[in-house]
Amino acid sequence: MQLTRGYSSDAAISPFLPMRRTVAKAERAGLSVGDYLDRYSAEPGATAATVEAMLRLGGLEKGVERVCEIGPGSGRYAAPVLTALQPRSYEVYETAADWIRYLRKEFPQLTVQPADGHTLRHTATESVDLVHSHKLFNYIPFVATLGYLAEMARVVRPGGVVAFDVMTEDCLNDAATTTWLDHPDRGIIYSLTPRRWALDFLARRGLDLLGNHFVPLSGMRTELLVFRRR
C-alpha cells in the first residue's frame, strides 16, 4: 500500500500511476522506468518511436531554444527530447506531487512550473519552439484537453511545433472496440477527441497539420498529431 495526500477534487488532476510503486516495479524488472512503462501500457520501444516521429514530422533538430511539456510524469519523453534537441530551456507542467519530486531529482535541468491542470499560465505567449504532451489527453476530461489545446496554440511561436496524442475515431479499429467490449472497465477510463474537430479547432488558431503517427496503448492505439504554427 502507498499513502498519498489528496489535494484536489478536480477530475483533470486525478492521480495516475503512483511514483514509488512504479519505480520499484521497474527496478525489480531490471528496466528503466521508461522501458517498464512501455512494456506496461504499450510495447517495447514505443516511447522512442513516438519521439522520433514527432521530431521527424516537426523537422526539429538540435539547437531548439525552448520546449514545454504537459504531464511529463516519469520524464520518459523528456529524456530523449533533451538528448536530441539540447534546448536552452525545458519547462514542464505536472500535477502529481510524487512525480514532481522524481523529476526534480532525475532531471534537474527541467523547470517545473506551477500546474493547475488546465492552463500554461506561467508560459508567455508565442515563446516556445516545441510544446508537446503524451499519454495525457486520453485520460483527462475533454474540457481539460480543450483548454490545453488552446493554451498550446497560444504559447507556441510562429514556425514552432505543437505535438500531442489523442484517441480519435481513427484509433477505434476492430481490435480496440473488441478490447473495450471484453474489458469495459478498461474502456471507461479513456476520453475520445474527435479528429476533424481537433484539426479545425487548431487551424482556426493558426496551426497546420504536418502529419500523424499511431502509438500503441494497452492493446489499442492513440494518434500522435504534429502541427506547425503559421
Interval 116-135: pLDDT, tens:
999 999 999 999 999 999 99
The better pLDDT of the pair 185, 157 is held by 157
Tally of CB atoms within 10 A around 3 = 5
Rg (CA), the chain: 17
| Cα separations in angstroms, 155 against 54, 158, 204 | 18, 10, 15
Mean pLDDT confidence for 104-123: 97
**% of the chain surpassing 90 pLDDT:** 71
Closest CA to 75 of 33, 113, 17: 33
Reported as a pLDDT band with limits 50, 70 and 90, residue 2 is low
DSSP state of 73: T
